[in-house]
Structure 1
């Protein structure tokens, strides 16, 4: 996950990984991320099953480490490559659904329409 650039190695984000055709890492970033996420998920399961059978602390610590890496990978696969769909007029994200809370302060085109 570090090699794809999904998880930055420095605290400053200078150039995030893009999926553009001119980026040399673009065709490899997503498949490597998926393979390493599957690897970490399977390793989490393996370490946990070994911990259940042998009750050694090292296995549960390994499962915890692999689980953290797997969750970061899953998070990156789900949310890492989606482009923000923002409204040109209001700047709000169009992907929000309002479930389970309703945003009563949001822009309403019927109420906020200017008369004139």
Structure 2
């Protein structure tokens, strides 16, 4: 399993865990997060908790589907292409990756801000989980979305440049090959 699929499944699992908690035990979640000790949750709080729980489950399922972790077409439906720039996962994989990474980053910051003011351990747990998933998403955005263009002769990535430093050793080897 590559890092991209690990991110998609990890992100979906984290969102589903939050969704099932809101869906299954809204009174417990509201009681844990409410500052005053009033004993019960109102009907509006229960309704909103269950609605947001269902929304988180839907986002978790959409993340799996849109990233292409579960293929929606059979191998016979996929046309072979000779271009290197096409992504075999899904056409919306990068968009789903970017949006869910931003979501987890915002959730981590939000949990951090509330943890600083209230010092509740549930917020700290949410902050740590969302931070890990967001960091994994940033890594996938930076390094995990392309295969690179590796030269068959030198083994180096063709997209690199010599700016601001020159690679004199590589230039010597390259000049030696031209002379032959």
TM-score, normalising length: structure 2: 0.45
Question: Of 45, 52, 59, which residue of structure 1 is paired with 2:123?
Answer: 59
Q: Deviations over 1:68-111 (max 9, x none)?
A: 1001111112222223121231122234557999877657323x
Please say if 1:83 is aligned against 2:147.
Answer: yes
In terms of Rg, which structure is larger? Answer: 2
Unaligned runs of 5+ in 1: 7-18
The equivalent of 2:109 in structure 1 is: 45
CA distance, structure 2, for counterparts of residue 61 and residue 96 of structure 1 = 40
Contact 2:102 2:134 in 1 (8 A): yes
Aligned pairs for 1:1-116 (under 5 A) are: 1-2=8-9, 3=64, 4=67, 20=86, 23=88, 25-96=89-160, 106=170, 108=172, 109-110=174-175, 112-113=176-177
Contact 1:41 1:66 in 2 (8 A): yes
99 and 5 in structure 1: CA distance in 2 versus 1, 3 angstrom threshold = farther
CA distance, structure 1, for counterparts of residue 102 and residue 144 of structure 2 = 16
| Higher deviation after alignment, 81-90 or 65-74 | 81-90
96 and 114 in structure 1: CA distance in 2 versus 1, 3 angstrom threshold = closer
Instruction: Identify, as 1 or 2, the structure richer in helix.
Output: 2
Contact 1:38 1:70 in 2 (8 A): yes
Q: How many matched pairs?
A: 101
